Structure 1
Amino acid sequence: MLISGLPLKDASTTRCGRVRGKATMQTYGLPFGHPLTLVKNGWVWSKIAYIAAVFRQTNAKPMREKLVRYFSDLLPLSGDEATAIADSAVVRDYPKGTVLLREGQFSADTYFVLAGLVRQYSLVDGDEKTLGFFGADQWVISLNTTAEVKPAVQYWVCEEDSTLVVGNDESARELFQKHPRLETVARMVLERTFQDYQQAMIAHVLATPEQRYLRLLETRPDLIRRIPQYQLASYIGVAPESLSRIRKRLSNRR
């Protein structure tokens, strides 16, 4: 199962995720974009190639092509390699509000976002502190996803209806045994994602709340339109009232 029972729609107890492809019990992958996201000990990159797995169904062809293109951009794939990636798929559709992970759970499940939006947050004195948003073509992985699975320190929740690819460690190893070059692709994914992660982390830590907001306007304008103001305010590190003042001040400058 993905996780244990939760107050919201739960990815395991309600089984609201519909599987397109082979079912799996445990999954692995890599996220993008927030300081609390961390991967250690090259153990993780062996999971990443498998997360590129895509669906078999004809009606999933656009998504399949999307994932193959993603990996082909890193390293040109042979026909056999592309087919192997496509044939080892676990893809699930999750309704808005589905909780994928909660603090304290033991889970090595990770995701690659094909469509939709996943939010990561932690509870601090009972208040949600938004840590990141993961949209299309971004990897989502727990801070504690290492060879030794530890309790999660954050929550993941689908803020929109989402289509996610789910990987499996055992299947990844089988895939690499048959197609060793895909292990190189997995390493390249890890390196690219960490570069993006480091850049985002540095920019976020060094910026003021207003600069963070301006950067979102520049780099992810769609995100500002898709999330509630309180989540946006939490993400840039201010109260909703302060976000309103930032917006007003920027508007007056125009």
Structure 2
Amino acid sequence: MKEALKQFIENFQFLTPEEVDIIVDNTVLKKSKKGEYLLREGEVSKECYAVVQGCIREFIIKDGVEKTISFFVEGDPVNSFSSEVTGCPSKSYFECLEDSIVTVGNDSLIDEMIERVPRLEKLIRREVEKEAGKMQDRMSNFMISTPEERFITLINTQPNLIHRVPQVLIASYIGVTPESYSRIKRRVFEKIKEQN
């Protein structure tokens, strides 16, 4: 697990090899099996995660139906900021769709790591800002786009999800039934085929 983490951390090229070793040695890793939850509705989030390996789904249950909000893959932070910052119960679930390895952090561990590697604060802040921007873009895109446009955005931004995630969950993510999703997928791939 530590080797996978080291390869992940080395992607941040401004860190020195010594800083990478400090981070790797002091990072808590968690292995989770497919189907396990990192957080459930009603729990207060006390930890934040980053995906080293695997795929995590965020969803809510509304009127007895699961509604997929996000997918997180390698390199993505996984957090319930609304729960962690306010101490309120989470409205979301975070479920492992594959056997996964995640980093596990909390405020005291993050403060300790920043003390040992001061430049880490800049990286964390940049990653949080980047994730907030992605979330904002995703929300505004969802509000103004059709399900077909949402699907096209998904295959342009995260094409590997089509093969990693069950179709019923992608249908939920773009806001349609599985039957409608099949029609949209067929139509979009036919257009792509015609263009090539």
Q: TM-score, normalised by structure 1?
A: 0.69
Corresponding position of 1:217: 155
Q: Please report how far the alpha carbon of residue 95 of structure 1 lies from its aligned counterpart in structure 2 after TM superposition.
A: 0.9
Structure 1: runs of 5+ lacking an equivalent: 1-54
Change (3 A) 1:250 1:92: same
Residues 66-145 of structure 1: pairs in structure 2 closer than 5 A: 66-70=8-12, 72=13, 76-145=14-83
Q: Please report how far the alpha carbon of residue 249 of structure 1 lies from its aligned counterpart in structure 2 after TM superposition.
A: 3.3
Larger RCO: 1 or 2 (CA < 8 Å, sep 6+) = 1
Q: Does 1:232 align with 2:170?
A: yes
1:176 and 1:191 mapped to 2: Cα distance? Answer: 17
Q: Please report how far the alpha carbon of residue 126 of structure 1 lies from its aligned counterpart in structure 2 after TM superposition.
A: 0.3
2:118 and 2:164 mapped to 1: Cα distance? Answer: 40
Change (3 A) 1:164 1:252: closer
1:148 to 86, 95, 110: 86
- Report if aligned partners of 1:143, 1:153 keep a CA contact under 8 Å in 2: no
Q: Please report how far the alpha carbon of residue 79 of structure 1 lies from its aligned counterpart in structure 2 after TM superposition.
A: 4.2
2:125 to 187, 191, 194: 187
1:80 and 1:249 mapped to 2: Cα distance? Answer: 51
RMSD: 2.0
Structure 2: runs of 5+ lacking an equivalent: none
Change (3 A) 1:178 1:219: closer
Identity %: 36
Q: Does 1:199 align with 2:141?
A: no
Whichever residue aligns with residue 61 of structure 1, its letter is E
Partner secondary structure for residue 144 of structure 1:
helix
Q: Please report how far the alpha carbon of residue 177 of structure 1 lies from its aligned counterpart in structure 2 after TM superposition.
A: 2.6
Q: Does 1:162 align with 2:104?
A: no
- Report if aligned partners of 1:81, 1:182 keep a CA contact under 8 Å in 2: no
Q: Does 1:245 align with 2:183?
A: yes
Tell me which protein shows more helix as a share of its residues: 2
Change (3 A) 1:247 1:186: closer
- Give the ranges of 4+ consecutive aligned residues of structure 1 lying more than 4 Å apart after TM superposition: none
Q: TM-score, normalised by structure 2?
A: 0.88
- Report if aligned partners of 2:19, 2:117 keep a CA contact under 8 Å in 1: yes
Encode CA deviations 1:125-181: one digit per residue, 9 max, x unaligned.
000001110011001000424443110001110011111111132122222233333
2:186 and 2:119 mapped to 1: Cα distance? Answer: 53
